[in-house]
Amino acid sequence: TQKDTSVDMVGTWRYTGAAVEFKSDNLLKKAGGAVAASAVESKLDEQLAKVGIKEGQMSFTFNADSTFNVKIGRKNMSGTYSYNNATQKVNLKFVKLVGMNAKIDCSSSGMDMLFDSDKLLKLLVFFGNKSNNATIKSVSSLASSYDGMMVGFTLKKES
């Protein structure tokens, strides 16, 4: 696996809200574009909050040695990551979870980490393993309705 951190993911990134990206321009036009994306982000924010993912409660720290740590509330999870510059995807490997690929849209101060909806669901179930079934079911039905979209987290780099 090619390891390339030229996107400069190294550092601590705090969750600021949900992120949504349509997989195709055609789908974006059909769905009503930015208005639809905004509505989806708002709904996703609500569901993420139910599993403890809200502003000030979640952060990712990426280290130069290809290790990372995720904090959600008091819970800490760690693993290794690799970034592929050609595909603009990061592969996150948690100890008890198969590798997860996320598309990275990065600027100097912000980063969107976007997953296929079913992958985000697996990640949320992993993060919130103590969450009640009703919450996971509502996130699941929400995720299945987002076919054709990538969903995830908007993160802001700490200075």
CATH number of the domain within which 144 lies: 2.40.128
% of the chain residues with pLDDT over 90: 33
Domain assignment present for residue 2? The answer is no
Domain assignment present for residue 131? The answer is yes
Domain assignment present for residue 42? The answer is yes
Point out which residues pair with 45 in neighbouring strands.
none
Tokens 């993060």 — which residue?
127
Look up the domain containing 39 and give its range: 11-157
Asked whether the beta carbons of 114 and 90 are under 8 A apart, the reply is no
Other CB atoms within 10 A of residue 116 CB: 21
Identity of residue 112: D
Distance separating alpha carbons of residues 121 and 45, to the nearest angstrom: 14
Q: How many domains does the chain have?
A: 1
Per-residue tens of pLDDT for the chain, all 159 residues: 444 445 689 999 999 999 988 776 665 555 566 666 777 788 888 888 888 889 999 999 999 999 999 999 888 999 999 999 899 999 999 877 677 899 999 877 799 999 987 788 778 777 765 555 666 666 666 666 666 778 899 999 986
Structure tokens at 23: 């997989």
- Enumerate residues 6+ apart whose C-beta is below 8 A from 141: none
Distance separating alpha carbons of residues 151 and 95, to the nearest angstrom: 23
Domain assignment present for residue 48? The answer is yes
The whole model's pTM is what? 0.80
Distance separating alpha carbons of residues 47 and 17, to the nearest angstrom: 11
Domain assignment present for residue 74? The answer is yes
Return the closest-CA partner of residue 110 out of 16, 3, 22, 23.
Answer: 16
